[in-house]
Structure 1
Amino acid sequence: MKKHSSSPRDEDINSSSDLSESDLNRDFEDISSITSSEETDSVRTEAVISDVIIPFEKDEVSESNPATPYHAIHFSDSTTPEPEPIPLPLHAFDGIQSLLDDPDFQETPKVQVDGSTRVKSPHIRPNYWINAKYLLIPLAIIACAVLFISVLQIGNFNERLASPLSINGQAVSHSEFSFMYHYVLIENGVDVHASETPIMLAAPGEGEFATNRDFFVDIAAKELQTIQILYDDAILHGYSISDVHVQRANTYVNWLSTKATAIHVDLDTYIKGTFGQNVTRQTIVDSLSKRYFAEDYAAGPKLEELRASEDQAEESYLTSRNQYDIVSYRVLRIIFEQKDQSFISTAHLHAQEIIEKIEHDPARFEIVASEYFSGEARDALLQPDSTLISNVRFGDIDDLEWRIWLYDTNRQPGDCTIFEDEYGFPILVCFASRSRQVEPLRNIRFFYVNEQVEEAFKPGLPAGEVIPMAQTILDSVSDETSVINLETTYADEIQSGIMSAVQSGDTFRGKYDATFDSWIFDPARKPGDKTMIELEDQVVILYFVSISPNPEWFDRVNSFIRMNNYQEFLIEKQNEYPIKLNSEGLKHI
């Protein structure tokens, strides 16, 4: 851009003293008060406008008021000599030319004229970027971002260093492992708050473990490994953690809250003091929800996936029939008050005659045998099936000789034999039948509330508190989850022996007391039923979970096969999910 050095005012301006910024601003403010004589200066004004003022571009003209477009002064960059402009009689602009010559100003002021006699004041755009604060603020933001990213990277790195365990290359957080380690201790009856516990943990361990602590660390690591294997497999098959699992985890946290209240500390403090400084209630909920989910998946969908085929089940049954069959037989003991050998011989003779007379028909056993008795003994024998013992399992027969004879695969109905008692008198046994275990198994949950028996050193509640407590517990049971949660709610009582919880997924007739059988095997029984049964020194709460859709023998065969399949699955997956302990991380557990 060329400067107009031919202006006759250059010498005056250059020779004048430097203008201050305040003077310049004051001159600009006085512009609005200056008026020029239109009559005397019209020629000069027209000359200036025609020479140096051009219209704005189209997009800068207001469409709403096209009659009054603004114009801007443009200085020509052409080398063609320009006519010397006629100075306007605006004495307040005496300092403008020197400002234009000032190299510190990088933009030429533009004067806007709206066609009236009023000259608009120049608008000078300030150079904000020159201010230091506009440079420091972006730099500070960048520095904070870099610092934040660095902290995250360093934090993650430190977390990996602090991790006591990695599974398949993935670090297990310090808090998760710390919780599981102490959870395993508590499950195994270790009082983590006891002063002697550190001594016990530091004591030499068994087998390959240098200390007891190493043993429990190994259990916790393998527990987390199994949970991760099952969790990933469940997610792969479309399953996910449900509200039921979270509810069970929260029940455990609520139980911890009662423990904290008992010693007058807040829950967070109790959790840190029990499971580790990095463990929070959310850590517990997340860890236990995942654990409960994995357990339910393993006991349900996974075992169903690994169940035996019909061919596998039949093959397994034939391989070990004794485990899946039941036998029925009739038994009669012939004895005299006198123990002389002559009486023993007579009894053996009668037994042999009975065997011959029934002619291999077990249904005739009682009728034929009654001929050798009189009075009440005879009347008792005449009752149908009075000597029959039915549905006897292989494991129920203690005497090895009896077991071998009864479970001989060649045994046929009507086969009879004679055993002897401790005096030598005959015990007549007649085989009736052998069959598979066909009655479906029941899944029952039991919760025992024991009565204290001081003479037998049996822990429990005082006699007057047993039934009210049992009734309270029974009223709180609404579904299977609520029964499971009793194990957490009354964990202290269970640990001390006052109460106990048992699940029997393979309940068969005769496994428990006849009082239980009459309720469990009632044809009207259905899932969700519950009851309370009073015994001599305890009250038992029963909850009916389910009845199997399969015959018992198949469930037992299937249980054996699928558990083998399950173990093979875990062993295979354990190779894919190797665990590695980090001694640095374990130092703080």
Structure 2
Amino acid sequence: MEDVSKKTPKEVREEKRREANRKAAAENMQKKQASIYDADGKVVTSYDKKLAKRKEEQKKDKRNTLITRITLIVVLVAVAAALIFAIGKKVNERYGTAVTVNGEKIGRVEYDFYYHMGINNFMNTYGSYASYFGLDTGSDLSKQTYRGDETWADYFGVNAVEMIKEMRALSAEADKNSFSYDDTDDYNEFNSSIEKAASDDGSSVKDYYKKTFGDYATQSSIESYVKQYLRANAYYDDYQKNLTFSDAEINDYYNENKDKYDVVDYRYLEVADLDKANEMLASITDGSSFRALCPQYAADDLKSGYETDDKSLATGATQSSITTGAEVTSWLFDSVRKEGDKTVVTVADDNKNYVLYFSSRYLTDAQKSIMTDSMKSSKSQEYINSLIDGMTSQSGTVKIYEETAGSADGE
């Protein structure tokens, strides 16, 4: 055995280097030998390696293709779902149930028709005064407060449901009573009025239908609802026209509402100075003396008018027609008032003094006719209320106008 202790340090280092090289060469040989045999001990040639690599690449390509295909399918499904949702939403808005009335499903087109009819009727009744109610039909009704937290969309939504109930009930009554009605003239007149209104508005008839009766309204789509509306109203008018009342019923109603229908004759003069007004009052003995005193106590710029005309006399005045102040109206329609009564009334709102002389109070034929019409309207409304009493309503699947359907019955 070689004596290592006799070797120089340089020789020792060289020996270690050679040993490390031999070890690395042995390990490399083992790797090469292992790479040419498979798991079964068979020799693996270079061709086998290329073939295996090709198969591995094919497997990878197949896996990537599958992933791409799955991704594409997912994307297509998502697009299709979005399209189906959009189409479904549009179809639901057009053909879905807006409200269910007494178990009957009411579609969007019909609901819109009555919703907008309510607005049109309101505007025909109040016209320019609608602004005093805080209503602007040119703006979003769901953002305009009607009362408390309720909006005008709520108001007209509830009104639409009530109109649908009434039209259904009156139509059923018309059928039950074999009511005969030819809608030809009324329907033609309706269409003519739409055409004229569209022309005046500078719109096409098609656009005007949508503007006036809802986004899905066309002449054909609302025809049946228009005819139902016309027939129901014709039946209602016929019912109301044929109502009669006994003398006792008329007298009872009059006695309960005479302030509303009576008229008064009286004389009045505005006098700025209260002392002067009381001075004039003390000199009045009858209607003629009142007239004679007016030029003396009237304002300077009005004296000549009282000299030539009987401007102090008011005849056939109803409570609603008197504009000089609530205090004046209250005194004139006091149940204890009698011919010859006189007074000075100071109206608090504008601090004006009025000298008053009462002549008479009575019911005119014209007012009696108005009273009878009012009785008929009340009776007719009672009739309608009896027909729709117990009818229910519920919101449908279409979200419109701030969910107004259920609120009609508090549901």
Give the TM-score category using the shorter length. Answer: 0.5 to 0.7
Mapped pair 1:410 → 2:350: no
CA 1:393–1:241: 2 relative to 1, 3 Å: same
The reply to whether residue 321 of structure 1 matches residue 258 of structure 2 is: yes
Matched, 1:242 2:183: yes
Q: 1:215 to 1:269 in 2, by over 3 A?
A: closer
1:582 alignment partner AA: G
CA 1:209–1:293: 2 relative to 1, 3 Å: farther
Separation of aligned partners in 2, 1:255 and 1:311: 48
Change (3 A) 1:225 1:255: farther
State the secondary structure of the residue aligned to 1:286: helix
CA distance in 2, matches of 1:225, 1:234: 14
Partner letter of residue 403 of structure 1? Answer: T
Displacement after TM superposition at 1:413 (Å): 1.8
Distance 1:411 1:174, change over 3 A: closer
* Aligned CA distance change for structure 1 residues 424 and 347 (closer, same or farther; 3 Å): farther
1:563 is the counterpart of 2:390: no
Written as runs of structure 1 = structure 2, the 5 A alignment for 1:509-588 is 551-575=365-389, 577-583=391-397
Match runs of 1:63-462 below 5 Å: 162-172=96-106, 175-177=109-111, 179-180=113-114, 217-237=157-177, 238-251=179-192, 254=195, 267=206, 275=214, 281-298=219-236, 300-306=237-243, 308-332=245-269, 348-349=278-279, 351-352=281-282, 354-355=283-284, 358=285, 361-366=286-291, 385=310, 387-395=312-320, 396-419=322-345, 428-436=355-363, 438=364
Offset, 1:287: 1.4
Q: Tell me how far apart the structure 2 counterparts of residues 402 and 235 of structure 1 sit (CA, whole Å).
A: 52
Contact 1:307 1:558 in 2 (8 A): no
Report deviation, 1:394: 1.8
- Higher relative helix content: 2
Offset at residue 226 of structure 1 (A): 1.5
Task: Assess, with a 3 A threshold, how the Cα gap between structure 1 residues 213 and 554 changes in structure 2: closer, same or farther.
Answer: closer
**Structure having greater relative contact order (Cα 8 Å, sep ≥ 6):** 2
Distance 1:252 1:576, change over 3 A: farther
Please state how far the C-alpha of 1:166 moved relative to its aligned partner: 4.3
Give the secondary-structure state (helix, strand or coil) at the position aligned to 1:583: coil
Hey, what's the Cα distance between the residues in 1 that align with 2:375 and 2:394? 31
Change (3 A) 1:249 1:163: farther
Against the structure 1 CA distance between its residues 350 and 304, is the aligned structure 2 distance closer, same or farther, given a 3 Å change threshold? closer
CA displacement 1:513-567 (0-9 Å, x = unmatched): xxxxxxxxxxxxxxxxxxxxxxxxxxxxxxxxxxxxxx23323333443333233
Structure 1 residues 364 and 384, CA gap change in structure 2 (3 angstroms): farther
Q: Distance in 2 between matches of 1:243 and 1:403?
A: 49
Q: Is the 8 A contact 2:281 2:342 kept in 1?
A: no
**Counterpart of 2:315 in 1: which secondary structure?**
strand
Count of aligned residue pairs for this structure pair: 290
What TM-score, normalized to structure 2?
0.52
Segments of structure 1 that go 5 or more residues without pairing to the other structure are 1-157, 190-196, 439-550
* Partner in structure 1 of residue 31 of structure 2: none
Larger gyration radius, structure 1 or structure 2: 1
- Tell me the residue number matched to 1:480: none
Distance (whole Å) between structure 2 residues aligned to residue 376 and residue 216 of structure 1: 51
Give the superposed CA RMSD. Answer: 5.3
2:98/2:106 contact within 8 Å kept: yes
Deviation at 1:247, TM superposition (A): 0.8
Please list the CA deviations of residues 310-361 of structure 1 after superposition, one character each: whole Å capped at 9, or x if unmatched: 32221121123221111112235677xxx7xxxx767745542x23xx3xx4
Q: Look up the SS of the partner of 1:330 in the other structure.
A: strand
Q: 1:418 to 1:172 in 2, by over 3 A?
A: closer
After superposition, what is the alpha-carbon deviation per residue over 1:464-509, rounded to whole angstroms, capped at 9, x for unaligned?
A: xxxxxxxxxxxxxxxxxxxxxxxxxxxxxxxxxxxxxxxxxxxxxx
Alpha-carbon deviation of 1:307?
5.3
Between the two proteins, what is the percent identity of the paired residues?
Answer: 18
The alpha-carbon distance between structure 1 residues 394 and 249, as it changes in their structure 2 partners (threshold 3 A), is: closer
Whole-Å separation in 1 of the counterparts to 2:277 and 2:118: 62
CA distance in 1, matches of 2:149, 2:394: 16
The DSSP-based 3-state class of the residue aligned with 1:556 is helix
CA distance in 2, matches of 1:318, 1:585: 49
Distance 2:352 2:152 in 1: 57
Contact 1:241 / 1:289 at 8 angstroms: preserved in 2?
no
- Are 2:209 and 2:218, in contact at CA under 8 Å, matched by a contact in 1? no
Structure 1 residues 221, 185: CA separation in 2 closer, same or farther (over 3 Å shift)? same
Deviation string, structure 1 residues 245-287 (Cα, Å, up to 9, x no partner): 2213423664697699957xx9499869x8566x653222221
Q: Distance in 2 between matches of 1:350 and 1:275?
A: 64
Deviation at 1:228, TM superposition (A): 1.5
Q: Is the 8 A contact 2:294 2:306 kept in 1?
A: yes
Q: Deviations over 1:113-172 (max 9, x none)?
A: xxxxxxxxxxxxxxxxxxxxxxxxxxxxxxxxxxxxxxxxxxxxx9xx954444444444
